Chains A and B, each alone.
Chain A
Amino acid sequence: MFNQGLSLDQAPPFEVILRFFLTIPAFGLLTAIALFIADPAALGLWDAPDTVAVVHLVVLGMAGMAMVGALFQMLPVIAGASIKDPMYHARWIHAFMALGTLMLVGGFVFAKTALFHTALALLLGSLGFVVFLMFSKLLRVENKTPSVIGMMVAVGGLGFGLFFALLVMLAFLGVDIGLPPQGLRTVHMHFMLFGWIAVLIMAVAFQVIEMFYVTPPYPEAVRRWFPMSILALLVLQVPFYIVSQSAVTLFDAAVGVLLLAFALVTLRRLSQRKRPVADTTVWLWRTGLVSLAASSISLFLYYGFQLETFFDTGALLFGYFFLSIIFAMSYKIIPFLVWFHLNAKGVLECPMMGDIIPAKGMKPHLWIHWALPVFGIASFFMPLLWKVTALLFFIESLLYGANLLGAAKIYHQFKNKGIL
């Protein structure tokens, strides 16, 4: 087989991705502040406004920025689906997402319901457009690899999540939807956390675990069926919120089994690397996958023993899972993109990738990151420890931000020195 064909517009400008990724640590700092000023007793309650604010800062501000930024990069490069004028779209989508998240969180923290209307319009407008744009582009990809299908499923999951976010907000504002508000909220969360974030991480993993860490490929059944099965389970589960709570639990357990299996398969793949040199990104992947496995097991224990602590721990570990993967991916991708774009511009003195975010800059971040769940879980028993958790998260976000900014600075120092 000869040359597979290339198009120069396959790689979007680095500024597109950088814009989204540099916002992640900024929202990390805000999350830490929101956690610190929150009433520690309220943080144990999932419906408390302070908790809802922190959850949205992490899910929309951190994960949302990472996921949308990653899609801008992956669509053209991995799927071959080019986005017309990516810089223009990235600018307004990013601005709407950031402002919408801030207003939504502000509405919860300061109890200003008037902020919700604008927040909803900004978030639904930007993320809804992301769903439309990305899904329509992916639909037209001829060679639908498992990663492409995974991305389509994840974008579909986001679409469902947004639809239920609208219904939750309408119910919250007093509109009678005809469905129980608790159920609506849970459906919204499930689509966002599992249908969107977990499935997109899967789609990315199918591509990058084998490519970056030189592992055997995932089993075909996992690559083909896991993302679709998760979304199908989430969709089929919806009517059972009205019909039967025990059936809802069965669907939850099935999603948990798939996530646990994904975590174990990926951990196995990482142990089968041809050259097992463990850098910080490998440890972050392992940390995230172990958390995902532990999160699924916590869910099973919750169903077995009906102890709220298992549910809380499972939810906390799920958040820790996707943050770990986001850190792992950004520490791999940002240096690569700096190196790639500088080399493409013909910058002869381009630094090596290992010097763009040096290992000594990533290691302290990893150590702080490892301390985080210890204090997070202990906070359920000693609520004052939320303050320590917040401080750790603040330091972690500072270190992460400094590492990303360092990479961005190198890019800007060299970008005009190319021979092209």
Chain B
Amino acid sequence: MSPVEVIELDVRGLNHPEPLERSVEMMKRLDGRNCLHLQIHRYPRPLLMIAQKQGIRFDACETESGEWHILFTKNPSFDLKRMLQDFCDV
């Protein structure tokens, strides 16, 4: 099995609406073989609602400093929780 391609996106500290716009642009690059790793300074509820409506899976974890790591994918078999453990001590 080929390794998962991870698209990295760090939008921490950017003013609204840049984090949302950049994330949605990156989400358009998702296919069955890759996932998007988003780092953001707060829980992006509207972005996740868009992802949910588009049928994109996601999972998120918060670091001790209050920032968020979120993984998005269109592949139903990726274990996002396990992949997130590398970023957050959970």
B-contacting residues of A (Cβ < 8 Å)? 1-4, 6, 8, 10-11, 77, 211-214, 273-275, 277, 332, 335-336, 339-340, 343-346, 348, 352-354, 420
Contact = CB atoms under 8 A, between A and B. Distances in A.
A6 B52 contact: yes
Contacts of B42: 211
Contacts of B61: 1-2
Contact of A275 (B15, B62, B81): B15
A275 B53 contact: no
Interface string B16-35: 11001100100010000000
Contacts of B81: 2
A353 B17 contact: yes
Contact of A4 (B20, B46, B54, B60): B60
A352 B21 contact: yes
Contact of B60 (A2, A10, A212): A2
Contact of B46 (A3, A273, A340): A340
B50 interface: yes
B16 A211 contact: yes
Interface string B31-43: 0000000000111
A8 B21 contact: no
Nearest to A419: B54
Interface of B: 13-17, 20-21, 24, 28, 41-43, 45-46, 48-50, 52-54, 58-62, 81, 84, 90
Given A213-B15, A336-B17, A3 B90 contact: no
A4 B15 contact: no
A335 B49 CA distance: 17
Nearest to B21: A352
B30 to A, nearest CB: 13
B38 to A, nearest CB: 13
Nearest to B24: A343
A6 B49 contact: yes
A3 B59 contact: yes
B21 A353 contact: yes
Chain A to chain B: the 10 pairs with minimum beta-carbon distance, closest first:
A212-B16, A353-B17, A344-B53, A1-B62, A274-B13, A343-B50, A344-B50, A3-B60, A340-B46, A275-B15
A277 B15 contact: yes
Given A277-B15, A344-B54, 7 more contacts: A2-B90, A11-B46, A214-B16, A214-B41, A336-B17, A339-B17, A353-B21
Nearest to B58: A3
Contacts of B53: 8, 344-346, 420
Contacts of A420: 53-54
Contacts of A344: 49-50, 53-54
Contact of B90 (A1, A10, A273, A339): A1
B70 to A, nearest CB: 9
12 contacts: A3-B60, A4-B43, A4-B45, A8-B49, A211-B16, A214-B16, A339-B21, A343-B24, A344-B53, A344-B54, A348-B28, A352-B21
Contacts of A8: 49, 52-53
B10 to A, nearest CB: 14
Nearest to A282: B15
A133 to B, nearest CB: 23
A274 B12 CA distance: 10
A332 to B, nearest CB: 8
A213 B16 contact: yes
A284 B45 CA distance: 26
Contacts of A3: 58-60
A10 B24 CA distance: 19
Given A1-B90, A340-B50, A77 B45 contact: yes
Given A1-B62, A340-B50, A343-B24, A6 B45 contact: yes
B49 A214 contact: no
Contacts of B58: 3
Contacts of A6: 45, 48-49, 52
Q: Which of B13, B46, B61 has the largest count of A CB atoms less than 10 A from its CB?
A: B46
Contacts of B52: 6, 8
A10 B54 CA distance: 16
Contacts of B43: 4
A47 to B, nearest CB: 43
Contacts of A274: 13
Contacts of B15: 212-214, 273, 275, 277
Contacts of A352: 21
Contacts of A336: 16-17, 46
B49 to A, nearest CB: 6
Contacts of B17: 335-336, 339, 353-354
A340 B50 CA distance: 7
